[in-house]
Structure 1
Amino acid sequence: MTTLTIRKPDDWHLHLRDGAVLQAVLPHTAAHFARAIVMPNLVPPVVTVADALAYRGRIAAALPAGSGFTPLMTLYLTEATDPADVAAGFADGTVTAVKLYPAGATTNSDSGVRDIDRAMPVLERMAQIGMPLLVHGEVVDPAVDIFDREAVFIERVLAPLRDRLPELRIVMEHVTTADGVAYVRSQETGLAATLTPHHLMINRNAILAGGIRPHYYCLPVAKRETHRLALRDAATSGDRRFFLGTDSAPHLDRLKETACGCAGIFNAPNTLACLAQVFEDDGALDRLEAFVAENGPAFYRLPRNEGHVRLQRSEAPVDFPVAVDTADGPVTVFQPPAPVHWRVVAASA
């Protein structure tokens, strides 16, 4: 196969940042995706519906002329979040979901939840109205090894929450372990998971073997090869509980290449090409469209997109741009560790 046309995809987990970075990275997502769930971990975070409206306005102003891209806004859950504000924003379509960050788990998460019991009034209201909760699934207990934080989160937080509020619809974002895959598969309804292109392509050796490579460092951190293979099996299986969330997370190079570098991988420019290669390598190109364009809308109860994208395969590997320039400095683009022979050649609204 040398060409592949699929329904225009959505990104169910995206960081756009703000200011100069937003201006520079947004066109790369808008070129290939119809919609995206936009993360709220700005400084200060997007906590209220008013915050979400203001941020959506800045995104709209940064879009290329004529773009049909739609940002789906989220709220940052705190222990003081107002259930009435959340419900009103969901009812009028301003916000699509609420994001749970355990305090201190990742970039700009210091305002997140320390005691989930304090957030229960919001979660109970969300369960009543069918509003999805998006979880960063890691504990922050310093006694827990960083490579075990996802598995421990399932045991300590997610499973008890599912028992307590079984009607609450939850997306376990950027799953990185076989434990996470197994848990999602054990739940028949109400739970789904996003998978990133980089976690399908790299394991922890990419970060640490032969020298520290900061542009492969993200949170949750890449795990052992056995976990990467479990993620690929989930992505390419056709299981409707798994769908694409790029977790494209741009940081300026000067903030990555430092003694205490930021976590995040910027993959928006080449996500679809990388995924086409993954699915081809695993003999599952016929399932790519479901993963990127069907399973997510089904869980979020949204219509599928009408547009399409066309990818083309070349004999020679594709060279992707090394970085995207912003007014504040460059942002390095994810470089896949193995040759990719696919590229997007056309997209329609």
Structure 2
Amino acid sequence: MTQTLTIRRPDDWHLHLRDGAMLRGLLPETARHFARAIIMPNLVPPVVTGAEAAAYRDRILSARPEGADFTPLMTLYLTEDTDPEDVAAAHASGLVTAVKLYPAGATTNSASGVRDFDRVRPVLERMAEIGMPLCVHGEVTDPEVDIFDREAAFIDRVLDPLRRATPGLRVVMEHITTRQGVDYARDGKDLGATITTHHLVINRNHILVGGIKPHYYCLPVAKREEHRLALRAAATSGDPTFFLGTDSAPHADPAKESSCGCAGCFTATNTMSILADVFEMDNALDRLEGFTSLHGPAFYGLPANDATLTLTRGAPVNYPAKIETGDGPVTVFDPQMPLHWSVS
């Protein structure tokens, strides 16, 4: 029997679009289903100022497919030299939605990130004054901390002290991957948390068992099964603290399939089908709209989309294994399960 589900059109609250040929090749994969997306600023060089964000936004808009209804929500890359007044002006103009904090060395193109958090305190205090959200990549980079423990250590060492020192600062814990991240986000004031599609599906076994699977390698890295289950419970709970941020992060296949492969899973193409199957398996289809379309806008103080998206359950959907771009092929995330929900 055919089954349909109509929801408000979703948004992606954490997205990498890259630039140039990669941007032009992959933006249609997001614009097909998503109305808006928070755009990550970790280009080379990074998007640090309002003027740079405006230029990047123009490049994104020029790459939109004809007739596409898609709005990029821009962010600024926080550095120790960021000007608080430039941030405030970019936010007041409507150009920039949030600021992104990368601890230096935490992930792809994060070398310009923050090492001394005291040096960014004036920016954070100004953001708290104007209600501008801080999007946080929550991992410490101390080489003595195991890669699977870096999120939990960041909460204790950095995030909790930072929030206590800056009352009123609105923080998005991006792409949480642990039970500790779920618990901290749920109990905090002025906190939201994004959860990716792939972290709902894979644990660290998918990366390592039977050989190294580079297209499942991401940062933060997938953790033990107990953490994946905690993420599933949070995403499907209906709790407005949690909302979708795919962290869809494309790299051309040669950059992934190498002796030092890049981190990132490309999920823009099939995210909505995967999520519908996940929520159905967890008896939570009635909560899918909240996770994908309502909780994020509410946290950011934006209206939910008026347009709708319809999912239909039927025979398994076939998605392309790769998307060709001018920078080379990009492999689409394989959830290793049949996807029964198609998008119309």
Same fold (TM over 0.5): yes
Deviation string, structure 1 residues 188-240 (Cα, Å, up to 9, x no partner):
x2001000010000000000000000000000000000000000000000000
**Contact 1:192–1:241 at 8 Å: present in 2 too?**
yes
**Equivalent AA in structure 1 for residue 324 of structure 2:** D
**Contact 1:166–1:190 at 8 Å: present in 2 too?**
no
Q: CA deviation at 1:317?
A: 2.4
Q: Which residue of 1 aligns with 2:72?
A: 71
What's the secondary structure of 1:311's corresponding residue? strand
CA distance in 2, matches of 1:14, 1:283: 27
**Contact 1:207–1:213 at 8 Å: present in 2 too?**
yes
Q: Which residue of 2 aligns with 1:237?
A: 237
What's the secondary structure of 1:80's corresponding residue? coil
**Contact 1:16–1:22 at 8 Å: present in 2 too?**
yes
Q: Which residue of 2 aligns with 1:203?
A: 203
CA distance in 2, matches of 1:186, 1:30: 34
What's the secondary structure of 1:283's corresponding residue? coil
CA distance in 2, matches of 1:126, 1:193: 18
Aligned-pair identity (%)? 70
Superposition map of 1:13-28 within 5 A: 13-28=14-29
Deviation string, structure 1 residues 36-63 (Cα, Å, up to 9, x no partner):
0000000000000000000000001100
Dislocated runs of 4+, deviation >6 Å: none
**Equivalent AA in structure 1 for residue 342 of structure 2:** R
Superposition map of 1:126-275 within 5 A: 126-187=127-188, 189-275=189-275
**Equivalent AA in structure 2 for residue 321 of structure 1:** P
Q: Which 5+ residue runs of structure 2 have no aligned equivalent?
A: none
Give the paired residue count. Answer: 343
CA distance in 2, matches of 1:141, 1:92: 37
**Equivalent AA in structure 2 for residue 334 of structure 1:** F
Deviation string, structure 1 residues 295-321 (Cα, Å, up to 9, x no partner):
00000000110000011111x322221
CA distance in 2, matches of 1:13, 1:64: 20
Structure 2 length-normalised TM:
0.99
Q: Which residue of 2 aligns with 1:327?
A: 326
What's the secondary structure of 1:32's corresponding residue? coil
**Contact 1:174–1:220 at 8 Å: present in 2 too?**
yes
Structure 1 length-normalised TM:
0.97
Q: CA RMSD in A?
A: 0.7
Q: CA deviation at 1:14?
A: 0.2
Q: Which residue of 2 aligns with 1:310?
A: 310
Deviation string, structure 1 residues 15-70 (Cα, Å, up to 9, x no partner):
00001100011001001011000000000000000000000000011001111100
Q: Which residue of 2 aligns with 1:55?
A: 56
Q: Which 5+ residue runs of structure 1 have no aligned equivalent?
A: none
Q: Which residue of 2 aligns with 1:94?
A: 95
CA distance in 2, matches of 1:232, 1:166: 30
**Equivalent AA in structure 1 for residue 196 of structure 2:** T
CA distance in 2, matches of 1:105, 1:281: 33
Q: CA deviation at 1:166?
A: 2.4
